[in-house]
């Protein structure tokens, strides 16, 4: 038999190449997802916003030639979630089989300062991308992942939170994401699109943005360890979050798009820790035990052995409307996707502190 006529050759010819398009590719989740998909043989396309300086630090190592920014299996396109024409052009030319909408103005506190922009990008941006798929006639060919968020639960109506827990958003970010959540479901039901929401609880890593509380803590602890900083200022120490590792969570995103039917899933660890506990765990990584004194805005954290004050509360970091407790129930994902988190809370903190010590040792101004 001629090898070209063999069943294997025929199936290889007919098998569609996997092509992923990622918004937010330069972010924490986008970089981990790109690594993951490239390892699975995908061709990965990412949408990046134009900037006067390179903003691809998290994905530079994925270029075919990082020193020249030469593309290989990862290809980048200029576009924006608030520019529908750019989205239509990119979707039309790339013809992806999977789209991961990770792009967003994703900082909850800052969304109060940029409320209109947050709505335009996070809410209407999702609509623009869904419409781009339909404009290009690809609604039957593309599987669409929408990055939803545990912030949708806000003032929680039950503990823990699952796929059926009522939403009560408490920020412009959460309210914008609520629209994106429902428009994704609407397009799924109205146009029979394979479109899903991943309701991901907090997920961190050494690649987390510098102004998110977990990264702020690990960066400061690293600087304290290297004698580059004295004190860490934080907002609410009592807020509790369900913290996992971004590297684990992006696998869940992918699994949702491989599932037989389009469904929404909560992705979480099922355990919650306070900001105070995160601080304790981070300082333990540099051999320091923190003792807490006082209450509310007067609470401070001291080193047990020296009495040096390392943590103070600054009201400027309080949100206008706080979210006190988020803890997810990932049972559906465990049962239907066979997904479970691999990284423990302690392991997450350990990895982040170690990475930031190395970073600050090389560049104290990073």
Active centre residues (catalytic): 149, 151, 173
Write out the two tokens for 309. Answer: 């004050």
What distance in Å separates the CA atoms of residue 28 and residue 15, rounded to the nearest whole number?
Answer: 31
What distance in Å separates the CA atoms of residue 30 and residue 62, rounded to the nearest whole number?
Answer: 12
Question: Nearest CA to 24 among 68, 76, 70, 60?
Answer: 76
Cis geometry, peptide bond prior to residue 188 (ω within 30 degrees of 0): no
Question: Nearest CA to 282 among 210, 186, 195, 214?
Answer: 214
What distance in Å separates the CA atoms of residue 320 and residue 309, rounded to the nearest whole number?
Answer: 27
Q: Where are the beta strands (DSSP E) in 52-193?
A: 74-78, 98-101, 143-149
Question: Nearest CA to 326 among 213, 219, 185?
Answer: 213
Give the chain's count of helices (H) and strands (E): 12, 15
What distance in Å separates the CA atoms of residue 217 and residue 331, rounded to the nearest whole number?
Answer: 30
Question: Nearest CA to 154 among 177, 136, 174, 129?
Answer: 174
Residue 343's alpha-carbon distances to 203, 242, 246, 303, 326, in angstroms, are 11, 13, 10, 28, 18
């Amino acid at each position: 038999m001629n090898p070209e006529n063999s069943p294997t050759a025929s199936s290889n010819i007919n098998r569609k190449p996997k092509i992923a398009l990622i918004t937010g590719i330069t972010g924490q989740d986008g970089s981990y997802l790109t690594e993951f998909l490239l390892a699975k043989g995908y061709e990965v396309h990412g949408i990046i916003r134009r900037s006067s300086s390179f903003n691809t630090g998290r994905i530079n190592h994925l270029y075919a030639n990082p020193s020249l920014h030469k593309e290989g299996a990862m290809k980048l396109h200029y576009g924006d979630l608030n520019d529908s024409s750019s989205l239509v052009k990119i979707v039309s030319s790339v013809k992806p089989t999977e789209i991961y909408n990770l792009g967003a103005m994703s900082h909850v506190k800052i969304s109060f300062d940029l409320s209109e922009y947050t709505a335009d990008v996070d809410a209407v941006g999702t609509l623009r991308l869904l419409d781009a798929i339909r404009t290009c006639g690809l609604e039957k060919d593309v599987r669409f992942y929408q990055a939803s968020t545990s912030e949708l639960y806000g003032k929680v109506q039950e503990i823990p939170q699952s796929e059926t827990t009522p939403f009560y958003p408490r920020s412009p970010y959460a309210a914008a994401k609520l629209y994106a959540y429902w428009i994704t479901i609407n397009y799924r039901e109205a146009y029979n699109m394979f479109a899903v929401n991943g309701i991901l609880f907090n997920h961190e890593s050494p690649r987390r943005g510098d102004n998110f509380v977990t990264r702020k803590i690990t960066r400061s602890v690293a600087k304290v360890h290297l004698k580059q900083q004295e004190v860490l200022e934080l907002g609410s120490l009592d807020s509790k979050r369900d913290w996992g590792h971004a590297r684990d969570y992006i696998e869940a995103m992918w699994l949702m798009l491989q599932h037989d039917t389009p469904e929404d899933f909560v992705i979480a660890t099922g355990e919650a820790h306070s900001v105070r506990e995160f601080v304790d765990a981070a300082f333990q990584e540099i051999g320091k035990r923190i003792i807490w004194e006082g209450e509310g805005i007067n609470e401070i954290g001291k080193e047990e052995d020296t009495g040096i004050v390392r943590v103070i509360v600054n009201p400027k970091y309080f949100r206008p409307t706080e979210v006190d407790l988020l803890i997810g129930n990932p049972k559906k994902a465990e049962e239907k996707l066979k997904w479970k988190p691999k990284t423990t809370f302690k392991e997450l903190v350990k990895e982040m502190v170690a990475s930031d010590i190395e970073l600050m040792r090389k560049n104290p101004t990073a």
